[in-house]
């Protein structure tokens, strides 16, 4: 708790995916219990739905 966590993942996108703005939701889980963990922003506010939202434009 209270420690920043960093992780890198590769997403394979289908070749026919249309270019555009996409939203990815990421959550964290306890590896022992499988229970979803709380997530907080840099100011210490709990994030809604315990989810980190990443937005990115996809173009090919």
pLDDT of residue 6: 77
The domain of 34 spans: 20-58
What is the DSSP track for 6-38? Answer: ------PPPTTPPSEEEEEEE--B-TTT-PBPP
In a domain, 12, yes or no: no
DSSP state of 47: P
User: What's residue 28's pLDDT?
Assistant: 80
Burial class (CB in 10 A: 0-12, 13-18, 19+), 50: middle
Instruction: Write out the chain's pLDDT in tens, 60 residues.
Output: 667 777 788 888 898 988 888 877 777 888 999 998 887 778 888 877 655 666 777 776
Residue 51: inside a domain: yes
Q: Is residue 4 part of a domain?
A: no
Number of structural domains the chain divides into: 1
pLDDT at 32: 95
Two tokens at 15?
């070749």
Q: Which helix (H) or strand (E) holds 45?
A: none
Residue 5 lies in a domain: no
Task: Evaluate whether residue 34 is within a structural domain.
Answer: yes
């Amino acid at each position: 708790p209270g420690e920043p966590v960093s992780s890198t993942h590769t997403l394979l996108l289908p070749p026919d995916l249309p270019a555009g703005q996409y939203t990815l939701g990421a959550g964290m889980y306890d590896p022992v219990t499988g229970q979803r963990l709380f997530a907080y922003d840099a100011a210490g506010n709990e994030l809604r739905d315990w989810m980190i939202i990443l937005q990115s434009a996809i173009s090919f």
